[in-house]
Amino acid sequence: MQLARSARLSCPTAPYRKHGQIMRILIVMTHYPYPPRTGSAILAYRNIKELAKRHSIHFVCADDAKERGDLDEFVEHIEFVRRKNRSLFIKLLRYAFYMLRGFPAWMISSMSNEMRSRVTQLIDQQDFDAILLYEITAIQYCPQYSYKNMIVNIEDPPSLKLDRLRALEVWSFWQKVSLYVLGKLTARYEKSIIPKLAKVLVLSETDRQDMNKQQGYNNLGYITYGIDEIPSTEIVSYERRTKGMIVFSGNMHHPPNVDGALFFLRHIFHLVLKEYPSAKLWIVGTSPDNRIIAAARCFKEHVVITGKVSSLTQYLSHASVCICPVRLKIGVQTKILEALCWGTPVVTTHAGNNGIQGSSGKQLWVEDAPDQFAHHVAALLRGENWRTLSGEGRKLVTEHFTWERSTAELEQNLEFVRNAA
């Protein structure tokens, strides 16, 4: 038991394979990553499937999944730990108690004594080489003596994201106050917990640098996001694309997407129409915000809002241009990677390009000024420099944003943690 209490989790007799020593990995999550619809769920789902091909995985989750999917075909052991049902009064009392102690609301909502007990039991009883978490909320389920064997992939640095979210124009005064308070509580929690962990991963080098500059952590790293490669035979040429078709995709209730859509509709699209009068904007994504719907009305048939769609393929593969006018500088914009993978040229902001670091004018266009943003969109609709951006943008994704690379980088960090222990 002494080995478990000190978190020296080793497996000295495990055989070696081409990718390194087979590891026994405990993965702890608050939410089950299936179906993989959000960026964080897709990352966890694909990484776990790739890791399970070479390593022994024990997966434990606080969420009772409605759809199990196919993870249990790959993962050696999956278990769900149901939280005890509590009355509304007890829930409110718990919120008040922990809020007064300075815990952020997102952490309180995921608390589970049952999950904490089960994870501690697993760590004490089994010799895991490393512990892998995909959400910062899952840290609370693990005993502190296991932190030195733990990797947490927090995707987008929470306090940094909250601080930058507050600057968007979509919030009311009181919403900004709420974000400010939540950001401060989150930053305080991060400072108390992150330095104790073996490794903390984000999804881009720029986020790692920004987080390190803000907090001075020395245990930060990053892994690349991946995207499924599209066969070249399925890429549609410019001549066969729908003329004048512009696509902006994403969850259209997500504040950065709402802000980006309003920015484009209010400041950019009328300039596009001056240069290319037959342009049509397709806003593709679930639960469009009422402000987007209202801003689109003045453009009549020039804007189509689809709501939820079963697949983005028909939109991304036939659009002449995809746009990403988001102004939140954090994370990796998967909508850009998806479009580039289909050979569809992209015009985005510097914030949108933050986690991708594409070369403007070669792999995509990067522009913040409304008039220049509009000009690049209209030029691509006319076919100017279209083939270059289509080919080079697709090359960027297929060479740098693969799940094989993402998982290989994750494995390197897992081996580092195992060896350090």
Share of the chain above pLDDT 90, in %: 81
* Residue 4 confidence (pLDDT): 33
> What confidence tens digit (pLDDT) does each residue in 357-415 have?
999 999 999 999 999 999 999 999 999 999 999 999 999 999 999 999 999 999 999 99
- The amino acid that residue 313 corresponds to is T
CB atoms < 10 A from the CB of 142, how many? 24
Among 3.60.70.12, 3.30.530.20, 3.20.20.70, 3.40.50.2000, name the CATH number for the domain at 232-400.
Answer: 3.40.50.2000
* Whether the Cβ atoms of residue 192 and residue 215 lie closer than 8 Å to each other: no
**SS3 (DSSP) at 16:** strand
2-226+402-420 matches 232-400 in fold: yes
CA proximity to 324, closest of 346, 354, 302, 355: 346
Domain boundaries, the chain: 2-226+402-420, 232-400
* Residue 403 confidence (pLDDT): 94
Does a cis peptide bond (omega within 30 degrees of 0) precede residue 277?
A: no
Weakly modelled stretches of the chain, pLDDT under 70: 1-20
Superfamily of domain covering 2-226+402-420: Glycogen Phosphorylase B; (3.40.50.2000)
How far is the CA of 30 from the CAs of 6, 41, 275, 329, 381, in angstroms?
24, 11, 49, 26, 44
> What confidence tens digit (pLDDT) does each residue in 275-290 have?
999 999 999 999 999 9
> What confidence tens digit (pLDDT) does each residue in 97-114 have?
887 888 888 888 899 999
0.85 surpassed by pTM: yes
* Residue 20 confidence (pLDDT): 60
* Residue 257 confidence (pLDDT): 97
Token pair belonging to 262: 């309003």
Helix 173-193 and helix 158-165, axial crossing angle in degrees, nearest 10: 160
